[in-house]
């Protein structure tokens, strides 16, 4: 009982921290574009969530603005720290929907050990398996925000590392040259560093493993004083901004991470019209587009709500 109460209390704290705004951050009205008002959604208080990093904040605001355009009254519950906390918020009924990644669900939530190479087949498998958890999946984006390791120009030039197999060999040959920055979640996830070490057969010594906040990794690796290599997200605009080179995953360890709408099945059944709101949006979010949008937030310093609104308008979804 204590454990249950503690878990509920912790989730309440997380949700309080995550509830950032109650309406569009720009304060502007959302006009119709290709998204039309849907009578069944009029005034529907759909609780939209997200994780805490820039891409998720952006995707969360895309969902908020799109729902407003469709006539709903979305509640902003974005900016929850940690994948497991957002997932718990969804499965416990504290939020209604958020963009989740197919690879994350398959490995972390559904506890599968082998990713499926074909993105559509991976999505289909996640959708089928997660139905038992009362989670419905809609609107798979073609963008692939996969985990990766990247190196700065000096480290790449000095070591000649191009692939993760090269990196594993470097760890064994010269651990000091393989000094690596990683984030807390990547350090513990099955589809993160532990699985990477197992698949590629290396064990990075503790002194060469530097645990940092994810956002700090990019400039730290770019500068090169602490780490020559670091964990990155492949669609993050800071990869190019810091001139980092992503190492090829030559053993195909990382699964496909397509963002898609994960929604409580009860809400999906009550408002099936939501699927038609998100499907065309997801179709336009390819890797290049999402990377460019992320750059506007992470590198150029624009607010996620502004970037979301501008993109939805430029793509014709709203006016």
Cα 309 versus chain centre, distance: 19
Residues in a beta bridge with 263? 97, 136
Q: Which residues lie closer than 8 Å to 78 by C-beta, 6 or more apart?
A: 18, 20, 48, 49, 50, 56, 57, 60, 61, 64, 98
Cα–Cα distance between 148 and 232 in angstroms, integer? 5
What one-character DSSP code corresponds to residue 169? H
What is residue 28's predicted lDDT score, i.e. its pLDDT? Answer: 62
pTM as predicted: 0.84
* Residue 264: its H or E element: strand 259-264
143 touches 285 (CB < 8 A):
yes
What is residue 29's predicted lDDT score, i.e. its pLDDT? Answer: 72
The segments of the chain whose pLDDT lies below 70 read 1-28
What is residue 11's predicted lDDT score, i.e. its pLDDT? Answer: 53
Alpha-carbon distances, residue 77 vs 7, 64, 72, 90, 271 (angstroms)? 18, 10, 15, 11, 19
Residue 41's closest CA among 258, 223, 274? 274
Residue 134's closest CA among 263, 258, 278? 263
In 3-state terms, what secondary structure has residue 242? coil
Residue 231's closest CA among 243, 242, 221, 240? 221
Residue 233's closest CA among 105, 147, 143, 144? 147
What is residue 113's predicted lDDT score, i.e. its pLDDT? Answer: 83
Give buried/exposed letters for 126-148 (b at 16+ CB in 10 A, else e).
bbebbeebebbbbbbbbbbbbbb
Cα–Cα distance between 236 and 288 in angstroms, integer? 10
Cα–Cα distance between 175 and 239 in angstroms, integer? 23
What is residue 23's predicted lDDT score, i.e. its pLDDT? Answer: 42
Q: pLDDT digit string (tens) for 258-317?
A: 999 999 999 999 999 999 999 999 999 999 999 999 999 999 999 999 999 999 999 999
């Amino acid at each position: 009982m204590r454990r249950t109460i503690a878990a509920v209390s912790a989730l309440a704290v997380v949700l309080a921290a995550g509830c950032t705004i109650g309406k569009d951050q720009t304060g502007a009205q959302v006009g119709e574009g290709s998204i039309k008002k849907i009578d069944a959604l009029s005034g529907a208080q759909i609780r939209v969530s997200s994780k805490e990093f820039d891409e998720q904040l952006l995707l969360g605001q895309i969902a908020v603005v799109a729902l407003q355009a469709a006539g709903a009254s979305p509640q902003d519950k974005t900016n929850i720290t940690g994948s497991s906390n957002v997932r718990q918020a969804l499965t416990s009924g504290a939020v209604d929907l958020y963009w989740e990644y197919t690879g994350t669900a398959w490995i972390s939530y559904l506890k599968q050990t082998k990713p499926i190479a074909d993105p559509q087949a991976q999505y289909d498998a996640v959708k089928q398996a997660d139905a038992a958890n009362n989670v419905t999946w809609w609107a798979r984006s073609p963008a692939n925000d996969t985990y990766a390791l990247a190196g700065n120009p000096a480290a790449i030039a000095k070591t000649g590392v191009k692939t993760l197999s090269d990196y594993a060999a470097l760890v064994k040959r010269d651990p000091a040259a393989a000094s690596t920055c990683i984030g807390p979640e990547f350090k513990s996830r099955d589809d993160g560093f532990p699985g990477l070490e197992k698949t590629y057969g290396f064990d990075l010594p503790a002194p060469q493993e530097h645990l940092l906040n994810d956002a700090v990794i990019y400039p730290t690796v770019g500068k090169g004083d602490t780490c020559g290599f670091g964990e990155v997200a492949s669609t993050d605009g800071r990869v190019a901004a810091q001139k980092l080179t992503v190492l090829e995953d030559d053993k195909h360890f990382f699964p496909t991470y397509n963002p898609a709408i994960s929604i409580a099945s009860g809400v999906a059944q009550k408002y099936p019209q939501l699927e038609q709101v998100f499907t065309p949006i997801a179709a336009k979010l390819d890797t290049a587009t999402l990377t460019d949008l992320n750059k506007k937030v992470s590198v150029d310093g624009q607010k996620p709500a502004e970037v979301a609104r501008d993109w939805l308008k430029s793509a014709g979804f709203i006016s």
